[in-house]
Structure 1
Amino acid sequence: MTLLPPFSAAQWQALGGAHTAQEIAQQPAVWRELARQLRALPASRLAALQTLLEDHRTQVILTGAGTSSYIGELAADTLNTAVPAQVRAIATTSLLSHPALYVEPGRPLLLVSFARSGNSPESQAVVELVRKLAPGARFLHITCNAQGRLAAAGAGRDDTHTFVLPAASCDQGFAMTSSFTAMLLAALSLLGPDPLDVAARRIDTLAALAARWLDEQAASWHDIGHTPVSRIVYLGSGALEGLAREAALKVLELSAGLILAVPHTPLGFRHGPKSMLNQHTLVVLFHSQDPHARRYEDDLLQELRRDRVAGAVLALDGAALGAPAGLSDAWLAVAYAVFAQTLALHQSVRLGLPPDNPFPDGTVNRVVQGVTVYDYAA
């Protein structure tokens, strides 16, 4: 069992964080298994999807709830520039309540659903709603749970392709970690323009990079995670804006809301949100690999460090940490995510919470509960 240092397996168990610590640390291994899956996937399995992606009339909706929705936000713009189809990210929580704003019945439609368990109420409800509103729509389910309701409902259907990720990606801890990064890599691979063997090699490269970061940066990340803070700001631009939202959610989840976490863009941060800074605030910037974007990011970093209002300002720079040149932000985001997950885990421990279940009273659950799905009359 591989867990995050500096604690042993027994110590993580006593802290109530063994699942989460393992699921963060295992990600390079999970990604390598995903790469093997992609190499073994027959090209014929994706022929229908490729036909849709190559049609400029096709509307591709990337959907999920919570962390799963941020997968779509991270991938959408990168995919949209790479394929003729129109790709956008819309959360199930928006699709379910306002379908008429997003579903265009007269156009070819591919609904891509991301789901860790596949048992969230919105997951299957959105599929059935889209099937009703857009006859002829096709569906791609990217899920970590072969036994989930989403996977079961798509089995044997001609309009649905289900891609089940390695079993280890179905996190048992409260927070999505392995599931988030594995589903993001699967989406970029299955929906992108590159052959699957090219995508698989890129995933292997990222696995090696993340494994090295986990080894070399573990002590530093532990110290940052145990720094007393009451607020964390995550900044990211382009695809990394979606990662900033996911990173902030990890802090809120694993701190049980005791730490205020806010995501924003570097340029947008000056327009009001900067007022939240104080000496108990940690600011984390995910550096873009785009030279144009980095000029704006560097300006803000210099400003924040000059102002000395925030308690600490940290920039995570893939290039400085050895990321290969030419790797886009959407792909590099999985390695950055490992840092954000580790930081949230250590802050949870610092606060004396059990990271595997920071809400033992059941007010917030691993699989969302309490959602009533209502019939929709077009």
Structure 2
Amino acid sequence: MTTYLGLTLEEAAARGAKWTSAEIVQQPETLRQTAAGLAGDTEARNGFLAPLLANPDLRIILSGAGTSAFIGESLAPLLSLITDRCIEAVATTDIVAGPRICLRADQPTLMVSFGRSGNSPESVAAIDLADQLIDDVHHLVITCNADGMLARYAGRSERAFAIVLPDATHDRSFAMTSSFTAMLYAALAALGGAAHAPVALIADAVARTVGKYAPLAADLGKAKFERAVYLGCGGFTGIAREGALKLLEMTDGATAAIHDTPLGFRHGPKTFLNGRTLVVLFVPNDPHARAYALDLLDELSREGTAQRVLAVTTRPIEGRPAADQVVIDGLELASDLALLFPYIVVAQMIGLWQALALGKTPDNPNPAGIVNRVVQGVRIHAIA
């Protein structure tokens, strides 16, 4: 019998988790499908990007709203390092509210726009503002919806190119899961190159993580923690932020969640901890950053304030109980870019099982419509 994170299809449907559970589980396959699609589109994509990337003064903006913005936050620091380029994560919500602060008229710019549906008002408005305010601007659209406004814009503009991902990545659930990892992978492969995006390695690691640690996520849900903290540095700061959002979204705000960096956490946010708090710490492979993560892990263990401290790592941490470690096999020597994918899947599974333990329906956690799958209620104001 096929199960999805420990749920049969019938159980998942009855508990309002049919789409969310299936879309978490399908990520190894959607990553492979995404890679195959990119391979088939290499010539056209490179024809668009190569002349732009030949300019050493090119500014690359990774942009989106909500989860789509966190793709950029996860990739920008690591992509900047491997490409030696000016790559920045700037949310569309910031661009729309402060276009003259975020955009530079005289600097050639490639704006990379992420959008599951491609219909978020801020995503469309950010492109319009860039076209108005930047003298030399081009757009790379990465979207899961061929019929969305972003894809349609790219189809009619000579200054834009769209990477449209397989339809399976266009998540039907409220929370973005497979859409997040697919768009993350597409941007990594397009801007960093295939050598930095080994799909077999990444997809296999995600599959092992789902298979091995779904029971742990279910056990955490049974504990019904009241608060959660996700911690990560570098690219894992974006992953930590996305992990916290997944928990908030799927539990309809019933479980409070914050994110921070291992060093930043001591500067006040640590007061968030109590005896009903789960801490999830994403441990890098980079040895320098890893040392700081392990220092905080030791500190939290000594103090014993939190209910549970969980380390997500590629190598077992000596002296730490195995039950408090999520060890991602097969990526011990991989770059931190590859770790982004299985690490966020851990957070997705925790969010799902916490929601189910609280009686929430992850596919549609807020039936009242206070929040929506595609954001509503945004009024776009013209710039003076």
SS at match of 1:155: helix
User: What is the rounded CA distance, in whole Å, between the counterparts of 2:63 and 2:314 in structure 1?
Assistant: 28
Aligned pairs for 1:18-97 within 5 A: 18-97=18-97
Instruction: Name the structure 2 match of 1:120.
Output: 120
Change (3 A) 1:227 1:54: farther
User: Which residue of 2 is the match for residue 368 of structure 1?
Assistant: 375
Which whole-Å CA distance do the structure 2 matches of 1:293 and 1:5 have between them?
Answer: 31
Instruction: Give the alignment's Cα RMSD to 1 decimal.
Output: 1.5
User: 8 Å contact 2:48–2:161 — kept in the other structure?
Assistant: no
1:247 corresponds in structure 2 to 243
Structure 2 residue 203 is matched with structure 1 residue 169: no
Deviation, structure 1 residue 102:
1.8
For structure 2, the residue ranges without an aligned partner over 5 or more in a row are 317-327
- Matched with 2:183 is 183
Alignment deviations for residues 206-254 of structure 1 (CA, whole Å, 9 cap, x no partner)? 1111111211222222112332111000010111011000000001111
Q: Secondary structure at the match of 2:204?
A: helix
Runs of 4+ in 1 over 6 A off after TM superposition: none
Q: 1:2 to 1:110 in 2, by over 3 A?
A: farther
Relative to 1, partners in 2 of residues 1:83 and 1:199: Cα closer, same or farther, differing over 3 Å? Answer: closer
Give the distance between the partners of 1:333 and 1:171, measured in 2 at CA: 19
Secondary structure at 1:39 match in 2: helix
Native 8 Å contact 1:137 1:159 kept in 2: yes
1:42 Cα deviation from its structure 2 partner:
2.9
Which is further off, 364-373 or 55-64? 55-64
Secondary structure at the counterpart of residue 96 of structure 1: helix
Query: Which residue number in structure 2 is paired with residue 329 of structure 1?
Result: 336
SS of residue matched to 1:147: coil
| Gaps in structure 1 of 5+ consecutive residues | none
Mapping of 1:135-146 within 5 angstroms?
Answer: 135-146=135-146
The answer for the alignment partner of 1:210 in structure 2 is 206
CA contact (8 A) 2:58 2:110 kept: yes
Matches within 5 A, 1:185-200: 185-192=185-192, 194=193, 196=194, 198-199=195-196
Q: Secondary structure of the equivalent of 1:76?
A: helix
Shift of 1:158: 1.1
CA distance in 2, matches of 1:96, 1:316: 35
Contact 1:53 1:85 in 2 (8 A): no
Farther-moved stretch of structure 1 (74-83 vs 319-328)? 319-328
CA contact (8 A) 2:80 2:87 kept: yes
**What one-letter code is carried by the residue in structure 1 that aligns with 2:65?**
A
SS, match of residue 106 in structure 2: coil
Distance in 2 (alpha carbons) for counterparts of 1:293 and 1:225: 30
Instruction: Name the structure 2 match of 1:264.
Output: 260
CA deviation digits over 1:320-373, x for unaligned, max 9?
432324422233111111110010000010110111011000011110000011
CA distance in 1, matches of 2:163, 2:2: 26
Q: Deviations over 1:66-93 (max 9, x none)?
A: 0000000111111212335311000000
Give me the whole-angstrom Cα distance separating, in 1, the residues matched to 2:332 and 2:50.
Answer: 28
Shift of 1:57: 1.1
Equivalent pairs, count: 373
CA distance in 2, matches of 1:235, 1:122: 28
Residue in 1 that maps onto 2:223: 227
Partner of 2:281: 285
153-162 or 6-15: bigger deviation:
153-162
Q: 1:363, 1:275 → 2: CA distance?
A: 29
- CA distance in 2 between counterparts of 1:127 and 1:366 reads 21
| Aligned equivalent of 1:101 | 101
The corresponding residue for 1:130 is 130
SS of the counterpart of 2:88?
A: strand
2-structure distance, mates of 1:303, 1:85 = 36
1:292-346: per-residue Cα shift (whole Å, max 9, x none)?
Answer: 1111111111111111111111101123432324422233111111110010000
- One-letter amino acid of the structure 1 residue matched with residue 355 of structure 2: S
Aligned equivalent of 1:348: 355
Per-residue deviation, residues 85-114 of structure 1 (Å, max 9, x unmatched): 311000000001111112111121111000
Query: Is the contact between residue 235 and residue 284 of structure 1 (CA under 8 Å) also seen in structure 2?
Result: yes
Distance in structure 2 (CA, Å) of the matches to 1:182 and 1:36: 12
- The one-letter code matched in structure 2 to 1:67 is T
Q: Is the 2:5–2:25 Cα contact (8 Å) retained in structure 1?
A: no
One-letter code aligned to 2:249 = E
Aligned-partner SS, 1:226: helix
Code of the aligned partner of 1:97: A
Task: Give, in whole Å, the separation in 1 of the partners of 2:126 and 2:38.
Answer: 27
The alignment-based identity, stated in percent, is 44
Task: Give 2:323's aligned residue.
Answer: none
Give a deviation string over 1:11-35, Cα, whole Å, max 9, x none: 0000011000000000001001111
Are 2:225 and 2:276, in contact at CA under 8 Å, matched by a contact in 1?
A: yes
